Amino acid sequence: MKDVGVTLPIKEKFVLPDGMIYLDGNSLGPLPKGVHDRLSAMVTDEWGQHLIKGWNVDDWMGQPMRVGNMVARLIGAPDGSVTMGDTLSIKVYQALSAAVQMRPDRRVILSDSGNFPSDLYMAEGLIAQLDRDYELRIVAPEQVAEAMTDDVAVAVITQVDYRTGRLHDMAAITAAAHEAGAVMLWDLAHSAGAVPVDLTACACEFAVGCTYKYLNGGPGAPAFIYARPDIVDDIRPALSGWLGHDAPFAFETSYRPARDIERMRVGTPPVLQMTALEAALEVWDGIDMQHLRDRSIALCELFIAEVESRCPALTLHSPRDAAMRGSQVSFAFEHGYAAMQALIARDVIGDFRAPNVMRFGFTPLYIDENDVRRAVDVLADVLDNRLWDDPAYQKAGRVT
C-alpha cells in the first residue's frame, strides 16, 4: 500500500464539543488542542516575563517568516516565499497593487462572479485610488480563461468558489493569463489545507489566503501572501510600512523595501494570533495532501449520495464531478436559512449563503463517514418533519 503518512482523521488533535458535527471548518476551523498550552505559555513566559525582550529572545520578529514557511509547505511554495500578517483583504490589495504596477500599459483587473465580494471590493478601492481609467471586469467562472485578453493587467481569481465549491484549474488559467501577458493572482482562501496546491508548478506571480478556515488558526488569524521568488524584488509595495522596510530600526525618513517577501509585511505582527496559528499548523506534520484530498472526495461523495436519496427537496448547487469541487458541498433549498438554523440547533453545524444556499464543509482532519451519515439523519429529520418551519429559525443573525 502507498504510504500516506498520517492516516486521517486525527480527531484527537482537536477540541470538538461532544455531540457536535462540525461541517463549517471552511469558515472557521476548530481549536487544535496544542493551541491552548502554547498560547498560555506565550502569555505567561514570553509576554509576562520577557516583555519587550520577547521581540529578540522569543523571536517574535521572525515569526511571520517562520510561520510563512509552515504555510509554504502546504501550498507547494519554497521556503522564504511566504509571509504572514494583516487580513486577507489587505493582502489582496497589496498583491493587486503590485500586479498593476508590473503592467503599466494595461488597465483591466479581471475577476469572476464567483469570487468572494471582499476581493472585488478591494479591487474597486484600488481602482478609485489609482484615479486612472482602470476597469474591474467580472466574467462568469467558466469564462475566465477566454477572458484573458491583452488589456488584462492582472487576474484575481479565487480557486474554490465560496458558494458552490466550484474548483478552477489553476494550471490552465495561469497558463492562459501568461499567454496573454497578464499577471496571475490566486486567492487560496478555500484551498490552503483543503486541496493539494503546487504554487511552484503553477508559476503564478502571487497567491494569498487566510488561515482561520481550513488551517484552523482561530478567529482573526493572520493572512498569508506569496510572491514568485524571481519577481519579488521588483515589487513596489503600496502599503509601505516600517516592517516592510529593509532596515526598520535604522528609522530612515524614506522607504526602502526589504529584500524578498518581507517587503509585503506592513506593521507590528499580531504575536498572540501568530502564536496560536503556529501551534495550529503543527497538526499538519506528516499529512499527505493527496491522502487528504482522497478522503475529502470520499466524504463529499457520500454526503451528496445520502442527501440526494433522502432529502429530495434539496438541489445540488455544487459541481457533481468531484474533480471540479473543493472540499465543500452546497445544496439549494428555498427555506435554506431556516433549515440551517434548525440543523445548528441540533448540533449539526454548517452555514448559509444568500439567497438559498446551505453550505457544508468536509474536513478530513476531523470528519469521518459516520459523521456524514449522522448529519444526513438530522437533515432528513429537519426536512421530513418541517422542523425548520419555526419562527425561531427565521430571524437572521448578524453573521450567517
Which has the closest alpha carbon to 329: 83, 152, 163, 168? 163
- Do the Cβ atoms of 355 and 163 come closer than 8 Å? no
User: Per rule CB under 6 A, is residue 87 in the interface with ligand PLP?
Assistant: yes
- Which residues lie closer than 8 Å to 161 by C-beta, 6 or more apart? 114, 115, 141, 167, 190, 326
Candidate ranges 74-82, 116-124, 126-134, 273-281; the one touching ligand PLP (CB under 6 A) = 116-124
How do 357-361 and 351-353 pair as beta strands? antiparallel
Q: What is the SS3 assignment for 328?
A: strand
Strand 135-139: give its sheet, edge to edge: 82-84, 224-227, 206-209, 183-187, 152-158, 108-112, 135-139
Q: Which of 13, 106, 359, 362 is catalytic?
A: 359
Does the annotation mark 360 as catalytic? no
User: Per rule CB under 6 A, is residue 195 in the interface with ligand PLP?
Assistant: no
In 159-295, DSSP assigns E strands to 183-187, 206-209, 224-227
User: Per rule CB under 6 A, is residue 89 in the interface with ligand PLP?
Assistant: yes
Between 329 and 376, name the residue whose CB sits nearer to ligand PLP: 329
- Which residues lie closer than 8 Å to 58 by C-beta, 6 or more apart? 42, 46, 50
Candidate ranges 36-44, 85-93, 266-274, 383-391; the one touching ligand PLP (CB under 6 A) = 85-93
Between 118 and 356, name the residue whose CB sits nearer to ligand PLP: 118
Q: Site for ligand PLP (CB under 6 A): how many residues?
A: 13
Between 25 and 54, name the residue whose CB sits nearer to ligand PLP: 25
Does the annotation mark 213 as catalytic? yes
The residues with which 315 forms a beta bridge, in sequence order, are: 332
- Integer Cα distance of 303 and 178 in angstroms: 38
User: Per rule CB under 6 A, is residue 214 in the interface with ligand PLP?
Assistant: no
Between 118 and 315, name the residue whose CB sits nearer to ligand PLP: 118
> What is the nearest approach in angstroms of ligand PLP to the Cβ of residue 250?
31
Does the annotation mark 212 as catalytic? yes
User: Per rule CB under 6 A, is residue 328 in the interface with ligand PLP?
Assistant: no
User: Per rule CB under 6 A, is residue 88 in the interface with ligand PLP?
Assistant: yes
Does the annotation mark 337 as catalytic? no
Which residues of the chain form contacts with ligand PLP (CB under 6 A)?
87-89, 116, 118-119, 158, 162, 187, 189-190, 210, 223
Active-site amino acid positions: 116, 187, 212-213, 359
